[in-house]
Amino acid sequence: MSFEEIEVLKRRAEAFLRNADHLLKNGEWDLAVFNLEQYCQLVLKYKLLVKTGSYPRTHSLRRLIREPTKYYSKLQHLIEDEQTLRYVARLEEAYVASRHIPYSYEEKEVQSLHRFIVDRFKRLVDEV
């Protein structure tokens, strides 16, 4: 994969996070959660692609977190810590729910997930 293709993943991930911020400000909770989840997926795939040249073809955040822990042990916290794992699982559920289940998110849920992404997830991923 070329450098340009790798950068597309990074750029898209960042765009999903910016879009989530915008959707949050406009009260579009369901779409904001979907965009947060997409950010997580793409930024993890980007990190794996940079490190290994490929990434698993999956939508499972837990699997996408487990893969790079072979190279970046700091990420292990995201699936070992019980509280953090709840956030990861909730985001993973959001991917399925946003596409297949008529479920609506509430503002507090989305705000909490957003804080987790920005304050914990993004910081850990940016460090590796």
54 backbone dihedrals φ, ψ, rounded to 5°: -160, 175
Instruction: Mean pLDDT check: name the lowest of 15-19, 95-99, 112-116.
Output: 95-99
Kindly list the structural domains of the chain, giving each domain's residue range(s) and its CATH number in brackets, ordered by start. Answer: 3-127 (1.20.120.330)
Residue written as token pair 């479920």: 103
Q: Judge whether residue 73 has pLDDT over 90.
A: no
Which 3 state secondary structure label does DSSP give 79? helix
Spatial separation of the C-alpha atoms in residues 35 and 9, rounded to whole Å: 14
pLDDT band, residue 102 (cuts 50/70/90): confident
pTM for the model stands at 0.92
pLDDT band, residue 16 (cuts 50/70/90): very high
pLDDT band, residue 71 (cuts 50/70/90): confident
Q: Judge whether residue 99 has pLDDT over 80.
A: no
